[in-house]
Structures are given as structure tokens and as C-alpha cells.
Structure 1
């Protein structure tokens, strides 16, 4: 099913506006609250070709999509369309974080970010080589996790004291046990096969206070993907993400000792609740020295992640500067203590 949102004023296609949080008409400027948008202005069309072919209600053109696309644009007339049958049933998201950064704001923020690269080539830093910037909703699973940790350790306290000319070292040994209840809320994991997991992890954190119940109009004007991996398939990755935090927390409960040696550490994590959620991401494709570099921007906070190119000349100059500064400091110290440094 193809869904398009028609302006009640002029009949143009409306799209979600990140500044106002409303459906906005680019033709007449009308804005409507998503919750109160007139049902008669929502065009729906069933299509028997469920897999990859749809038809634009505007111009009748065929819309060819990949199987996991859930929202896109008509490549002929540019109308934003939502493929509703890919967002229903088991594929229906529970929550969405809407875009709060417009494309113009994203371009400006990315250009500002490129200027902060101390070791990037000079031509990269001007930020005017953006080849394409695409706003898309990326599928994530959010996990509420309950669990327990059963920990056993041998700990010591060491103290030294002196009696007369003799220095004594006293070591006390302790058996330590901890039984800890664990609770982690909304641990994210991206569920798209196309997205680089490391890149998506670095976009965190998102402000979960802005989570909304999912409504299709939020997708109008943006691309969207449905999940490739269900919550069961990704749970092991989520467990690996929280293990360092669990270890750090366990460490805070065993303090005041000179040494701690663990003899047993059993951690059990269980899903208590899972939310299928769409996160806003600006994908930035940057052309530099005949090579396309891919970056991602958090569509809620403006945080940019990715690996920019590095200037070898700047790296050499940077290390040379550090070496020269270190030499100058050492030489100054040597003069202060009366030595000679060659």
C-alpha cells in the first residue's frame, strides 16, 4: 500500500517538517498536526505487487524499491510516499524519534564539523563537497533488560607499620560475595543489515524523552527502512554492549581493598521488554579526491560520526611540533639544574 498526505488547501504532497513537528505543505505553507490530519486527505492505494513495485498516486509512475524500504520519494515527481504494508503487523514500529534537524541545519552543522579536523586535508575542511545528504529512519530495537550477577572474589588489605627499626607488612584476606540485581532500560541496537554497526553505535545517545508513539506521517518526506534482524538475533550483541557497564558496576561494590581476585562471576541477562523503534539519521556522502566518504549525523542532536581522511603532511608537522616542544622543555629543565643537553 502506498500512502500520500495531500494538502487540504491546495492538494500538494505534504511532508514532515522537523522544525515544527507537523506535516507541512511546500506549496502553500499550510501545516497540520499529525494527530489531527484529516482522514479524507490521506490517499491509500493497495498494490498486489507487495514485494518491490508500487505506483505513485501523483503521476502514476512506477516506484521500484528494495524489499526493506518503508518510505521513499517518487523519482519522477518527487512526491514523498510511505509504503504502509511494510509498516504493519509484525513490521509496525512501536516508537519513533522524529527528526528535529532540518536538511539545511544538517548541511550547516556538517560544514562546521569539517572545519574542526586539525589533521584533515585543507580541501576537506571547507565542507562544500557534499555529494548527497539523505534523511532516513533507521530501524533499532530498544531492550529493557533485567538480570542478576553472582560474584565471588578473594580480596586483600595490606598495611605496613614500623616498630623500632623493623618495617612489618600485614596482609588480611577476605572472601567476598555479591548478589546483584541488574536493570538496564532502552539499550539500543540497529537492526538494518545495510548500516554499519560501529557507525550507528557512535551516534548515541538519543534523548528517549522525545520518543513518540509511531505514526506514519512522521516518515513523509524521508527514507525509511524496515528491520533485517529481529530482536532475538540481536540480543547477543546487546549483551556484549552492557558487559563493560556491568563489570564497572560490580567493581564499585567491591572497594576499599588492596587487591581483588575474582573466583566466580556469573551474569544472567534477560529481556523484559523490547521496542521496535525508528531513529532519525542524516547520511552524508562527501566527495573528496575522487573518493566518496560516508558520514552519519544524529538527526535529533546533530552529532556527526565517521572517519575523515588524514593529511600525512599535517601528521608529520604535528609530531614534529610535539617533539620540538618536548626538546625545548627538557633543555629548559637541564639549564635550571645546571646540566647540558645536546
Structure 2
């Protein structure tokens, strides 16, 4: 498996992708490059040089041992910049070297059948993400200080998560009974007229960009769903340069594994759309439905999320999180509660009310 650190064409330093201008920056010589310039430079380098396949810096020896590892084990790779060992789990596709801090892309994990169709680049840089994180948490009165202290801020990480994005077309038909009820009064007598009608609805149905999780360790499903929607029309053909400077995960849920769930969900949406098109009746009761999808396609995409997680001693069995859409800035989170702060505020309110009652009783 090839391990890549995208190098600066001018000084050889490690490049990182900057969401603020959608370009690649070198922190050493401060050069800035477009994606095309980086790709052209790397293509020339590949044509001009051939790596020794037995070189220990390629990590081939280590990776060969790590092929198809048992579940729960770590894979070891060699950093192409400093030669240090990098330990990752089996789904990590981009990370940092903990020794030289250079960004590393494990390109082999995002190739072949695991090559994403598209990537949606980050639009929000870490400085802006940190600012929004602090603004959001400081409005929450009962969040403990430890949740947004410096050590937590440093944990804020930009991650490309894998998703299946489903598009579908089909035909649908429903049938049922529509009821019209008319009520009128003559004198003291109230009359009710009920009429029933056979109702059918049919039509062509299309769905675009149904987003489904493609990573099994995303146990906090709400975490990755709550920051949607993404503006997927801005997704581009996948190039691993956009992963540089961020973490990335590869999918471990195949489309076939969720195909039944997707069809069931689309079927439900289709019946709801057709039922909602029925009008002019007091009530409508559906009795039959037939949905036939002529085309369903799942595209594999990497989508950007800023993420920080937190555990406190009082609730060590629960993981709290803050997540932000790396494109639109939409935020979501499940936050810890400082019971000490909550107690102080509750006690203060109780004391204030008690004093008011006492003063009220004194003057009455």
C-alpha cells in the first residue's frame, strides 16, 4: 500500500489543504498551490523517479504483515517523512504522524473498490471551527469548563466520513377510499351526509441525495445525521490531495448491506408522497400500494465533519460530542451537565424566592 505525504514543489515540506481558499499551503516556505499544480508536480515526480520496492520507507514489509488484520487489531505503517511507525485501525485512510506531525494519506485504502466517487472538500478551516465551537458552548450555562478548555479545543478534528449517497427513480401507484363528510342543520336537527369514493394515484417518482452512513464504528448515528444536509452539488471527483491535513475514514459498510433498508425507506417516502397528493376529501384511507424502482444507485462519497468528543468522570460510560458540518457550519451535540453549576443556580433561585416570600409576608 502506498503511503503519501503531499510535498511542496518548492521546499519539500508537507502540504495541507486550506478550506478558506480551497488551495494547498506549505507551512515552511509559505507557498500556496492549486490542486492542478500539485497534481502536475506529483505526476512529473512519478515519471522522473522510481521508488525501490524493497526500501523500508515504503512500508511494504510492515503493510504485508498487516494485510487483512484480525478485527480489533492495529495496522502499522512507516511515515514517509521520518520513518516512524504509525498505528491506525483498519478504516483510517488519512491521519498525522505523531512524531513529525506531517499529514499522511494511506492512499491504498481509498483505491480500487474503495475509491470514493466524490469528495466534498472542507469549506470551514480549524480557526473558524474553533471560534464557532467556543461561541456555541459558552452559551450553554450548565456545561462544565473542562468541555471547552484548551485540551478539548486541541481535540477538535476535521474528519472526512464515508457515506453512501443514493439516487433513485421509479413508478408508484396507490389506491384507497376517500371520504367526504357534509354536515348541516335545519332547525334543531343536525344532518350528516357521508360519501365514499374509490381513489387512485399514480406517478413517476425521483429521489436525489439520500445520505446513509457507511462506517460501522459511527455508533453515534445521530452525530453524523444531525449535521446534514450537505450541499452535495458542490462535491467533486475524488482526489486524495484534499485529505491532506485532515483525518479520513474508509467505508466498511457495503451498499449491498443497506440496500434492503434503503428500498424500504424509499418505498415509505414514495407512498407518503402519493398519499399527500390526494386532496378534496375529509379523510383518505390507503388500501393498496405498488412501488417499482427502475433505477437505484449508491455513490460512495467522503463528507466533511468537525468533531470533538468528551468523557467526564461523573458519567464515564457516556460519550458526549460536538459535531459541525465542515461545509455549511451547521452544529449539533450532546453536552455534559455540570451538576455543581446546576445546583448553585437552583440554590440561588430558591434563596431569592424565599427572601421574596419573607419580605412579602413582612409587609402584608
| TM-score interval, normalised by the smaller of the two chains | 0.7 to 0.9
The aligned counterpart of 2:184 is: 161
Q: CA RMSD in A?
A: 2.8
For 2:335 and 2:150, the matched residues in 1 are separated by: 13
1:301 pairs with 2:328: yes
Q: Are 1:53 and 2:76 matched, yes or no?
A: yes
* Residues 130 and 287, structure 1, Cα contact 8 Å, conserved in 2: no
Measured after TM superposition, the shift of residue 306 of structure 1 is 2.0
Question: How far apart are the structure 1 equivalents of 2:200 and 2:127?
Answer: 56
Q: 1:307 to 1:244 in 2, by over 3 A?
A: farther
1:81 Cα deviation (Å)?
A: 1.1
Structure 2 match to 1:261: 285
Given the alignment of the two structures, is residue 192 of structure 1 paired with residue 219 of structure 2, yes or no?
A: no
* 1:231-250 matched pairs, under 5 angstroms: 231-239=255-263, 241-242=265-266, 245-250=269-274
Helix, strand or coil: the match of 1:5?
A: coil
Match of 1:66 among 85, 89, 93: 89
TM-score with structure 1 setting the length: 0.83
Higher strand share: 1
Say whether the 8 Å CA contact 1:130–1:285 is kept in structure 2: no
Note closer, same or farther for the CA distance 1:126–1:234 as it changes in structure 2 (3 Å cut): closer
The range that moved more, 298-307 or 136-145, is 298-307
Report whether the alignment pairs 1:86 with 2:109: yes
Q: CA deviation at 1:16?
A: 0.8
Distance 1:174 1:81 in 2: 66
Contact 2:184 2:192 in 1 (8 A): yes
Three-state SS of the structure 2 residue aligned to 1:60 is coil
Secondary structure of 2:60 counterpart? coil
Q: Please state how far the C-alpha of 1:293 moved relative to its aligned partner.
A: 2.4
> Which runs of 5 or more residues in structure 2 are unaligned?
52-57, 68-74, 354-364
Alignment equivalent of 2:307, drawn from 277, 283, 300: 283
- What SS does the corresponding residue of 2:334 show, helix, strand or coil? coil
Per-residue Cα deviation, 1:171-215 (whole angstroms, up to 9, x for no partner): 111011112321101111110111122211111100112111100
Aligned residue for 1:121? 142
1:71, 1:219 within 8 Å by CA — same for their partners in 2? yes
- Looking at structure 1, the residues matched to 92 and 311 of structure 2 have their Cα atoms a distance apart, in angstroms, of 25
Q: Distance in 2 between matches of 1:78 and 1:126?
A: 25
Q: Distance in 2 between matches of 1:255 and 1:124?
A: 54
More helix as a share of residues: 2
Aligned mates of 1:269, 1:309 — CA distance in 2: 44
CA contact (8 A) 2:167 2:297 kept: yes
* Separation (CA, whole Å) in 1 of partners of 2:92 and 2:227: 22
1:24 alignment partner in structure 2 = 25
Aligned residues: 318
Q: Quickly say closer, same or farther: Cα 1:177–1:197, change in 2 above 3 A.
A: same
| 1:18–1:100 Cα contact (<8 Å) kept | yes
Choose 37-46 or 298-307, whichever is displaced more.
37-46
Q: List aligned pairs for 1:129-208, cutoff 5 A.
A: 131=152, 132-195=155-218, 196-208=220-232
